[in-house]
Amino acid sequence: MSDAVQLDLLVFAAHPDDAEIGMGGTIAKATRAGRRVGLYDLTFAEMSSNGDPKTRQREAARASELLGLAVRGNLGLPDRGLKAGSEQVDKLVEVIRRHRPRIVFAPYFEDRHPDHTACSRLAEEAVFNAKLRRYRPEWDAWTPDAFCYYFINDMHTPQLVVDITECQAVKMDALSAYRSQFAPMEETKDWVPTPLTAGYLDNVAARDRLFGAPHRVAYAEGFISKGPMKLEGF
């Protein structure tokens, strides 16, 4: 795995668009600063009410281009079938050890969508296992400097806030790339209204404003860590 791209930030998400919702501005800010950022979706979101896997992959490719990602991958795990277990965890462990990131991000472990919380648990286990030199010794062990959680559907008091004012427009453009999820498309066959098509992106922007307000910045994203954070040169 020595030929893999080493990443500064590695982000895990249950579905394409999750990471863009929770930390798209932070990703864009990091890539603009020359950081290498990789994003791995665990599933193809094949159970989504709107769109299909091929459409979501096209949308994800466009969002990745806008955000400046160095790597985007999909682990092909079953949508609505994420669960703790060695086979699924090992897929994340292999990604961590291949890319040797400084910081790993995953969804916060409290969220209304079960797949988001399952992704959080899988990532936590993978970060722990990745540092154990006798665990899957065919891959060199790796310990990131920090493991942080981002918010998707809900809002909690953050430990870390990143000013994304200069990148808010890029974040919203990346989210708008997922037209199948966020745009009302009554003319499209099999389209159905969902909470995502009822002003969800306005709610995302409003949350970013709320995170920014106490710090006197226009927009911010919030994060939580279970342990100490080492973010020099972020």
3-state secondary structure 22-90: HHHHHHHHHHHCCCCEEEEECCCCCCCCCCCHHHHHHHHHHHHHHHCCCEEEECCCCCCCCCCCHHHHH
pLDDT of residue 216: 97
- Classified as helix, coil or strand, 152 is coil
How many H helices and E strands in the chain? 7, 7
Say whether pLDDT at 11 is over 90: yes
Q: How far is CA 72 from the centre of its chain?
A: 11
- Classified as helix, coil or strand, 104 is strand
Mean pLDDT of 106-128: 96
For residues 130-149, one letter each, b for 16 or more C-beta atoms within 10 angstroms of the residue's C-beta and e for the rest, the string is: beeeebbeeeebbebebbbb
Q: Which two tokens stand for residue 174?
A: 């990346």
pLDDT of residue 209: 98
Per the document, the length of the chain is: 234
Which pairing describes strands 220-225 and 146-150: parallel, antiparallel, or unpaired? antiparallel
Q: Which two tokens stand for residue 103?
A: 């910081």
Question: Do the beta carbons of residue 29 and residue 166 sit within 8 Å?
Answer: yes
CA nearest to 51, candidates 171, 197, 174, 173:
197
Model confidence pLDDT, tens digit, residues 39-85: 999 999 999 999 999 999 999 999 999 999 999 999 999 999 999 88
